[in-house]
């Protein structure tokens, strides 16, 4: 679930995420397509959290990718430059894949939540409120992003693109 500190919005946009996923307990072993139709961003100070998701339900009930940009202002200054994805704590951009719709959590299995450990992401445009509050478009591509559960049991390699319009307003989801 995304938190609405400075504004969370369902953006109007498009995107594609494809590759391979291995999660045996969910009968996933090969080609994968997310088919995203829900895009949101939440800004808090310099940090920007982006969700690219299939369906507008809570993240705990959906499949999607979360992208956390630690310093949107810094990334706005290097648009078009590939950023290495790592699992380091202070990485400028981190990504995670969650498959809570296709692999719902039950008492016998762990949720499919995979952390990106390698690959690149390139922003063509990014919402950075400290730089230009009028710039609402966020778009980019990611390639060869490897996601893993850290144990080697479940993994994914994905490529994707996204473009959406950040609109400040009512939260995209109700918050309990």
State the chain's maximal CA–CA distance in angstroms: 48
**Domains, in order of start, for the chain:** 11-165 (2.40.128)
Task: For the chain, list residues with pLDDT below 50.
Answer: 1-9, 175-176
* pLDDT tens, residue by residue, 81-91: 999 999 888 89
* pLDDT tens, residue by residue, 124-162: 999 887 776 566 789 999 999 999 998 888 999 999 999
Helix (H) or strand (E) holding 143: strand 137-148
Residue with tokens 């690219």: 52
CA separation for the pair 82, 142 (Å, rounded): 9
DSSP lists the bridge partners of residue 44 as 47
């Amino acid at each position: 679930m995304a938190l609405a500190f400075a504004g969370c919005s369902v953006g109007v946009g498009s995107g594609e995420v494809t590759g391979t996923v291995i999660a045996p307990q969910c009968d996933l072993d090969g080609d994968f397509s997310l088919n995203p139709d829900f895009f949101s961003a939440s800004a808090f100070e310099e940090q920007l959290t982006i969700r690219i998701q299939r369906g507008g339900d809570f993240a705990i009930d959906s499949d999607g990718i979360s992208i956390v940009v630690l310093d949107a202002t810094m990334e706005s200054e290097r648009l078009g430059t590939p950023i290495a994805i790592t699992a380091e704590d202070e990485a400028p951009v981190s990504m995670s894949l969650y498959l809570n719709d296709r692999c719902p959590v039950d008492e016998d299995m762990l949720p499919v939540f995979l952390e990106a450990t390698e690959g690149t992401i390139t922003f063509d445009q990014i919402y950075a409120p400290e730089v230009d509050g009028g710039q609402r478009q966020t778009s980019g591509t990611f390639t060869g992003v490897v996601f893993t559960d850290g144990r080697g049991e479940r993994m994914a390699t994905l490529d994707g693109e996204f473009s959406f319009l950040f609109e400040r307003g009512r939260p995209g989801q109700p918050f309990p």
